[in-house]
Every structure is written in structure tokens, then in C-alpha cells.
A and B are shown apart, each in its own frame.
Chain A
Amino acid sequence: MTDATAGEAHIPKGALARLMQRKLALLGLALIVIVVASAVFAPLLAPFAPDEQHFDGLTLEGAPLPPNETFLLGTDLLGRDLLSRILHGARTSLIIGVAANGLALVIGTLIGITAGFFRGWIGSLLMRFTDLMMAFPALLLAICLAAIFHPSLWIVAIVIALVNWVQTARVIYTETSSLAERDFIAAERTLGAGTGRILFRHILPHLVPTIIVWGTLGISTTVLLEATLSFLGVGVQPPTPSWGNIIFENQTYFQSAPWLVFIPGAAIILLALAFNLVGDALRDVLDPMQRGRD
């Protein structure tokens, strides 16, 4: 990859344009748009109110209805329309998956990059704190935090972020400390570059692939963590639907009404997959070494 590529003509092309050339990335983007749209337009799209308990929504024995003409995705254990709940639940899950996860990434990256770059006592302090957080049961911590603050969607998002930054910080720390030893960082120092410049212009861009990978992985874990919290009564409060708490509310009916678990589960998987596809494509598009290989 030395002389051959050196001879090629340089075609400047925007990263966005190259992103648009990838079919899988477009599929991911389309899925994200669908989820966002259903979250935003849920009141218009949903056939029923999410917390409306339908009189005809249960069988005579009181079991949930399977998908039928009236209730396209069936009903849940209280006779509410599943489709309406999923559309409305997209709001909660998107906020958790994007905001909580994004916040966790920011915290993790900041702590990891600071510890990895400066090392010394400040690095040790931050990393020991991270280890401590890792050793502490995340769920227990989340329950404590959620119990202290009055549970609302945003509080839940912040609690999840405070629990979920740890792995990111660890990984970013390792990468930063190896990057900081590289010659091009030493070269920057000899040029007179300040710390801020080195950190944000030269180290951060190299961490982007890692951040993207952890970000996409985090979507499904945060959505499920929110569900766990909801199940334990410290998450999003019922009757507000979220994909996670739909699964947990209905899991007792798993054998007789499996769609109640499969359908919201599929929604979570699709959301994670969509971000994964876009994330992968972004990583490749932003890496100059990958240019001309797609």
C-alpha cells in the first residue's frame, strides 16, 4: 500500500456523500427515521390511547388477545392495544437509548481520555474510581439513585448514564494511553501544540471508532436497563409505556401470549441494529485509510 496508492488521483469527496453510497447504512438510517417518526407522531399514528383499557381487549377468560383486525398487534394483559403502546413507547426508549447512552459515552470518554493522557496521580485516582464503579453492582446503584430522586423519564436517563459510563471509560483509557505514546503525539509536542489541541485534534479523532462501537452496543443495554428499573418500580412509571416495561409487564404471559414479548423485543433489536449499521458505516467513512475501499 505504498507506491500503488500514492499514484492514484486524489478525489475529494464528502464523508456524507460516501455514507449515502452504502446500502446498509441507508437501511439503518431509514429504520432510525421510522422509529423517530413513530415516536414524534405517536398520537396521530396510534389507533388508540396507550393507556386505554379496552373492554373487548381481553378474552372471556381474561387472557390477552392475539393480533386481530381491531388490535393489529394484539392486546396486553390489561387489554390495552399493543401497537399503540409500542408507538408511544418509542419515545421513552429513544430518549433512554440516545440521551442516556450519549451521556454515558461523554462521561466515559472524558474520564478515560483524561486518565489515559495525564496518568500520574490524577489518572490513578480516576481509574481506581472507575474500578470501584465497575465492582459495585450497577443495578443496585441505579436503584439507590432512582430511589433518592423522584423517578421521571429524565432522571432515569441520568441514572442510567451514571451507571453505564464505566466500560467506555476503561476502553478509552487504554486506547488513549497507547495513543499518547505514539510518535505523532511527540511530534505535536515538539511543534509546540498545547494539551487541549493534542487531546481534541489528535487523540479524539482516533477514538471515534471505539466510541461508535460502544455507543451502538450501549443502545440495547440501556433500553433493557431501563426496563429492569421499570420492572423494579424505580424506572419510568406506569402506565407510561416503554419497550422495556412492555416486555417486563407481560412476561408472565410469555407462554400463552408470546407476541407480547417478541414484538417489543424485536423493536429493541431493530433499533440497536439500525444504530449499529449507521455506526459501522460512519466509522469506515470517517477513517481516511478506508477511502476508496467501499
Chain B
Amino acid sequence: MSLAPDDAQTSRSGADLAPDAPPVLAVERLTVSVRSEAGVTPLVSDLSFTLRRGETLCIAGESGSGKSITSLAIMGLLPPPAVRVTGGRIRLGPTDLTALGEAGMRAIRGDRIAMIFQEPMTSLNPVMTVGTQLTEAIRAHDPVGRAKARSRALAALKAVRLSQPERRMTQYPHELSGGMRQRVMIAMALALRPEVLIADEPTTALDVTVQREVLDLLRDLQRETGTAIILITHDMGVVAEMADRVIVMRDGKAVEEAATADLFARPAAQYTRDLLAAVPRMGRGAARAAVAAAPVARLADVTVRFPLKGGILGRTTHHVHAVEHVSFDIRKGETFALVGESGCGKSTIAKAMVGLVPHEGLIEIGGSPLATLTGPAMKALRRRIQMVFQDPMAALDPRMTAGEQIAEPLLIHGIGDAAERQTRAADLMGRVGLTGDQLGRYPHEFSGGQRQRICIARALALNPDLIIADESVSALDVSVQARVLELLRALQKEYGIAFLFISHDMAVVENISDRVGVMYLGQIVELGTRAQIFGNPQHPYTQRLIEAVPVPDPALKRPATARLSGEVPSPVHPLGEGPARVVLTDIGEGHLVARP
């Protein structure tokens, strides 16, 4: 594979970018293989690329494409003994990293090549303070005194714009939010001024507004330090915003390599075109007629609080105000979306609606209030409302076959005999795009998207009026996500099912919903039709959410906005206190907005 000519004008990061300078990192015909009883299987084959100072190279691809294996190979962190580099070279300047032993690699890791991972909580030591970890990391590579290292650590925390850096030095990782932890990881990675920074899905576990801040930060730091970045991501929006050049990988092979602008404007490979087409984009949702049918579910003034016990007597001292005075209704055949960031209470509402957590206020499903129902009436109600969870692997019993799980609701409710249930299960499998002969397989024998289809089939088995989809497509690759969304739409059209679609992804919500409720800290701050929310967002939080979405268009110039570094307030309040209640006002045609 030949390298695309590097044109400097596509680079948006590089003060230090020198087109003719020798590359910092060169990967030549890299092959990584896994050895198993079945033989040697390549995970990455024949991959070549170079990386220059100050450049950002994105490696994009879906799960299983070998992008993370590539980064681990560069770091010399491939899981021994099964996975090994079986061909090619990785050169850092003049040094061949593949020929270096573990001792040699240890000197390079952190010092010359640093890495940040997807989940910062698992990469930080939970029993050491942030300050100690940073200081140790610096001292491990640089023989400086403790005080000197500490002041450098503090400077690094300031550089990543962490609020109250002195206090953060003395805190433990669990005391920080996800965004703050990722900043600490970046501070740690950049404290030693490495030549190459590998960021493996650095923002995937973060909320969209926090993702925005972290991406901005990475870009700013790169401008200052000239570090070359390899950014590994599945998100084409992130690629468009960050990359100078892109490598699209699939099944361990580079499908395409191009400058970012070229890739988005003129994708050469069919796979790249498919991938780009599958990315949900804002403004793509087809206009749909407003649904005016009777509500299948109605929530009025619903509040969910969890007690926190403390003190010697174990009395309740604080409450987590997960959901506060939420009211909305879901009409027959419509898709109502709840959007918001993690901890805003959207999933708690879903759990309250299926009776998994207790609630105050009124939840009415098909005219009957949930709280008053017990025993058989509750069981009967369960037939009308079903749920599809985020992680299909976790939501399916690994010891039961797909067929058994789809027939399970029928069995629970005593519908049909064994043969009828089997037929119905096969029928449902067909309906969600699987085949009847896959009924006897176990969940682990399916792919992620197929598993989610099984969950959808299980939810459909009882012909419910309402299906709650709690982040049901977030864990899926974009191309799979697009197909699952399509399936949901088709099923809605066919059966007239209403969906409560819970998501943090504004682009997906924009594509699928009829009406949208925006949640912040347990309360709805804006509620309206899709056109109202996305066309005319009124609440500042809604505007921030929409603006934060990475847009898969490298030509788009983002208006300079204030760099946010504030933290979301805590939903925990002492007994008897609570958050200020927001009041929603109608600004016309049912568009409700919280008064600021």
C-alpha cells in the first residue's frame, strides 16, 4: 500500500508540521497474529503507515477491525504468549521496536510513546492519589527529586485545564468524574512530552459535552507540544474533527488511507462509503406526521429518589434525586425520545416504568396506574410494556438458547403449547432478520447486532403497546446500529408499537424520534416535537448538547465557543432539601421550555 502524499494544507493542527522531516513513527508491513489450537490467525496483516511530528492520524474501523491490536503492538503490550508480531517492523526514529525486548520497551513506554485508554477508571490506580500517580510516572522516567516531580505534575494538571488542580493532586480517582479522570490520564501521558501519543477511543465512554472538551484539549495540547497523535476511534464525527489523515481498517487490513478532507469528499473504497453512509447525521431524519393518538403511557409528576444511609444508626441522611417531577406522555405508535447525559435520570425513568425501581407520582400504562397494581394485574400489564437493554450480551441468559429466550415470555404468560411457542419464536426470528435454524444457538454464538435482534424479538413476543429501548443501539457498531434502527422503524410501522427511546446520542435521536424530552439532573428542561427541539432549541443545555455532537464533515468550521470545564452539579442532597424545581412554559404548539 502506498502512502498518500501529505499535503500540509489539510493539516489543521500543525504549527510544527514539517512535510519533509523524517517520520517520528513508521510502521512497515506490520502483521500481528494470534496462535490458537486452530492455527495461526492474523489479527492485523500487512499494515503500513508513517506518522510525522505534530500530526494526527486516525485509525477508524468497527469492532474487530484490528485497530486496538495495532496500538498495543506499537506499545509492545500485546497479550503474551498467544498474540505476537509475526511480521514487519515498527520504527520509532531509528529504533526498531519489534526487536526491542521488554526492558527496552519499558524505557520507551510513557517516555517516548504514551497511551490513553477508553476507560480512565480502569487505567488509574484506585488506591493512589492522583498526585502520587502523576509524580511516580514522572520519576519513573526522569531522575528528578520528589518536589520537582510534584511541581511538574501540578503543571501538567493545570495544562489539562482541570479545575482546582492543587486539590485534585490529593484526591483519589473515584472522587473525580469521568471527564476529569480522562484529563488526568492525558496529563499523565503528556507530562513527559512523548513523541507519540496513542489515544484508544479516548472519548467513547464520556458524555458528548465532555467529549467535546477532551477533544478540544487534545488539539490545544498538540499545538503546544507538537506531539504526534494516533487516534483510534469508531466515530466518524471524531475523525472529521481531529484527523489530518485517516486509515480505515477492516478485518485487520487497511481498506483505505487518505487525507481527511479527501476521505470524506471522495471515499475510494466501498467499505468506507458504506461506513460513512451508516453514520447518523443531524438533519437526516425524515419528516413524519405528528401522532395524535391516545397515550399508551402517561407520567405525571414522577419522582424517584434513592436513600443514602449514614451515621451510626444507619438512618437516611441524603437522597439521590434521580428523577424529579417528570411528566410526559407517549402516544400510540410514536417514538418518544429521552436524551441527556449520564446520571440525568433517563434510565431510572425506564426502570420505574417497568417497576424495577419504586417511584412517587403517577405512571399510567394503558390507563392503569402502575403503583396500585399487584400480582396478576401487574403480570398482565407486563405484556403491554417491554424493554430492550443497552448491552444485549448482558441482557440475554448465556445458558439459554436464542429460541428458549424468545419463547420465554410466552411460557411465562402461559401462551400456547410447546409447538406453538416454537413456531412463534421461529416467526419472530424471521421478523427481526434472523433465521429459524439459529434458534438452537446460544447468545455467544451470535454477533453483537444479532444479539440485539434477539432481544428485540423477545420484546415483540407478547405484542406489547410500548417498547422501552434504553440505549439499545449505543453499544453497536455504526453500520449495525443503522440496520437495527431501520428494523425498529419497520416494526413500528407494522405493529403500531410506541417506543420510548432513551439515548445520549443526539444524532440517533434526531433520526428516529417524533417527540423529544431533554433531561438534565433528573428534570426535563425542554420537551417538544423533533422539529421544535432540533430546529429551534431554546434551553441552553439543549443547545449545548446539539453543538457538542461531532459532525462527520471535515469542512465544517465550528464557531469558537467558550471552552467549558465546569462540572455537572451533584444530584445528592441532604434530607429535606432538593434541587430547585424547574417550571416548563409553553412557547407555542406544545414546545415546553424550562424558564432559565
Spell out A's residues near B (CB within 8 Å).
1-3, 5-6, 8, 10, 12, 182-184, 186-194, 197, 202, 205-206, 287-289, 291
Q: Which residues does chain A contribute within 8 Å of B400, judged by CB atoms?
A: 202
B38 nearest in chain A by CB position: A4
In this assembly, does B447 line the interface, its C-beta being within 8 Å of a C-beta of chain A? Answer: yes
From known contacts A10-B438, A288-B444, infer whether A206 and B399 are also in contact, taking CB-CB under 8 Å.
Answer: yes
Selected from B63, B390, B409, the residue in CB contact (under 8 A) with A191 is B409
Q: Which residues does chain A contribute within 8 Å of B440, judged by CB atoms?
A: 10, 12
- In the complex the two chains form, is B444's CB within 8 Å of A193's CB? no
Cα–Cα, bound, A86→B354 (Å): 61
A-B contact count (CB 8 A): 89
Q: List 7 A-B contacts (CB under 8 A).
A: A1-B444, A2-B446, A10-B441, A10-B445, A187-B458, A189-B354, A190-B386
Selected from B383, B391, B450, the residue in CB contact (under 8 A) with A192 is B383
Q: How many residues of B contact A (CB 8 A)?
A: 42
Cα–Cα, bound, A194→B413 (Å): 10
In this assembly, does B178 line the interface, its C-beta being within 8 Å of a C-beta of chain A? Answer: no
- In the complex the two chains form, is A192's CB within 8 Å of B448's CB? no
From known contacts A5-B444, A192-B383, infer whether A288 and B398 are also in contact, taking CB-CB under 8 Å.
Answer: yes
Cα–Cα, bound, A193→B408 (Å): 9
Q: Which B residues, 345 to 388, have Cβ-Cβ distances below 8 Å to chain A?
A: 351, 354-356, 378-379, 382-383, 385-387
In this assembly, does B395 line the interface, its C-beta being within 8 Å of a C-beta of chain A? Answer: yes
Q: Which residues does chain A contribute within 8 Å of B64, judged by CB atoms?
A: 2-3
B397 nearest in chain A by CB position: A184
From known contacts A6-B450, A189-B356, infer whether A289 and B409 are also in contact, taking CB-CB under 8 Å.
Answer: no
B446 nearest in chain A by CB position: A6
- In the complex the two chains form, is A187's CB within 8 Å of B445's CB? no
Q: Which residues does chain A contribute within 8 Å of B447, judged by CB atoms?
A: 2-3, 6
Selected from B63, B389, B444, B446, the residue in CB contact (under 8 A) with A187 is B389
Cα–Cα, bound, A2→B385 (Å): 30
- In the complex the two chains form, is A186's CB within 8 Å of B356's CB? yes
- In the complex the two chains form, is B412's CB within 8 Å of A289's CB? no
Cα–Cα, bound, A8→B409 (Å): 28
Spell out B's residues near A (CB within 8 Å).
63-64, 351, 354-356, 378-379, 382-383, 385-387, 389-391, 394-401, 408-409, 412-413, 437-438, 440-442, 444-448, 450, 455, 458, 462
A187 nearest in chain B by CB position: B395
Q: Which residues does chain A contribute within 8 Å of B378, judged by CB atoms?
A: 192
Selected from A8, A183, A191, A205, the residue in CB contact (under 8 A) with B386 is A191
From known contacts A2-B64, A5-B445, A288-B442, infer whether A10 and B395 are also in contact, taking CB-CB under 8 Å.
Answer: no
Instruction: For residue A232, give the distance in angstroms from its CB to the closest CB of chain B.
Output: 44
- In the complex the two chains form, is A193's CB within 8 Å of B412's CB? yes
Cα–Cα, bound, A12→B442 (Å): 11
- In the complex the two chains form, is B448's CB within 8 Å of A190's CB? no
Q: Which residues does chain B contribute within 8 Å of A288, judged by CB atoms?
A: 398-399, 401, 442, 444
Instruction: For residue B34, give the distance in angstroms from its CB to the closest CB of chain A.
Output: 12
Q: Which residues does chain B contribute within 8 Å of A187, judged by CB atoms?
A: 387, 389, 395-396, 455, 458
Q: Which residues does chain A contribute within 8 Å of B354, judged by CB atoms?
A: 189-190
Selected from A3, A10, A12, A183, the residue in CB contact (under 8 A) with B394 is A183
Cα–Cα, bound, A194→B400 (Å): 17
- Known A-B contacts: A183-B391, A287-B399. Give 16 more (CB < 8 A): A2-B448, A183-B390, A183-B394, A183-B395, A186-B351, A186-B387, A187-B458, A191-B386, A191-B458, A191-B462, A192-B379, A192-B382, A192-B383, A288-B398, A288-B399, A289-B442
Instruction: For residue A181, give the distance in angstroms from its CB to the closest CB of chain B.
Output: 10
Instruction: For residue A191, give the distance in angstroms from its CB to the closest CB of chain B.
Output: 4
- In the complex the two chains form, is A197's CB within 8 Å of B412's CB? yes
Q: Which residues does chain A contribute within 8 Å of B441, judged by CB atoms?
A: 6, 10
Q: Which residues does chain B contribute within 8 Å of A289, judged by CB atoms?
A: 398, 442, 444
Instruction: For residue B68, give the distance in angstroms from its CB to the closest CB of chain A.
Output: 14
Residue among A186, A189, A192, A287 with max Cβ neighbours from chain B (10 Å):
A192
Q: Which residues does chain A contribute within 8 Å of B391, judged by CB atoms?
A: 183
